[in-house]
């Protein structure tokens, strides 16, 4: 069965510094992996997705993530944080085991200090 672990419940960075949000997954098949962002009182918005093409995936708002099969990781990065990046981020895995059920990580709240 697939699973996903977000290694940090909270991350705090200063504006203009790099962002790293960590995600490890478990999957018996070739997984699809996603990162979503949720701003307060809003639904989730897709940042990027990996579906067995290029291992380095570029998303919206300057975010990117690298699929590393050997480390079963899919960490989200951004070179320079902006105040508007403060939000909750969810890593998501889906594979054909169990009928493509989608598993959400517990989320990482990103704080950005001025």
Partner 1 sequence: GAGVSQSPSNKVTEKGKDVELRCDPISGHTALYWYRQSLGQGLEFLIYFQGNSAPDKSGLPSDRFSAERTGGSVSTLTIQRTQQEDSAVYLCASSFLRGDQPQHFGDGTRLSIL
List interacting residues with partner 1 (CB under 8 A).
32, 34, 36, 41-46, 49, 51, 90, 94-96, 99-102, 104-107
Select 13 or 37, whichever has its Cβ closest to partner 1: 37
Select 5 or 15, whichever has its Cβ closest to partner 1: 5
Q: CA-to-CA distance for 31 and 35, rounded, in angstroms?
A: 13
Q: Is 22 helix (H, G, I), strand (E, B) or coil?
A: coil
Select 1 or 17, whichever has its Cβ closest to partner 1: 1
Cα–Cα nearest to 71, from 55, 57, 85: 55
Q: Measured from the CB of residue 105, what is the shortest distance to partner 1 in angstroms?
A: 7
Q: Measured from the CB of residue 83, what is the shortest distance to partner 1 in angstroms?
A: 21
Interacting residues of 85 by C-beta distance below 8 A, sequence separation 6+: 19, 61, 78, 110, 112
């Amino acid at each position: 069965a697939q699973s996903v672990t977000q290694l940090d419940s909270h991350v705090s960075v200063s504006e203009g510094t790099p962002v790293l949000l960590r995600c490890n997954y478990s999957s018996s098949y070739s997984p699809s992996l996603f990162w979503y962002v949720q701003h307060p009182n809003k639904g989730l918005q897709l940042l990027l997705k990996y579906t067995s093409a290029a291992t380095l995936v570029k998303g919206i708002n300057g975010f990117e993530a690298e699929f590393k099969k050997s480390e079963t990781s899919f960490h989200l990065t951004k070179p320079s944080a902006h105040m508007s990046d403060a939000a909750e981020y969810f890593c998501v895995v889906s594979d054909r085991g169990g009928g493509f059920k989608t598993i959400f990580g517990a989320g990482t709240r990103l704080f950005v200090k001025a």
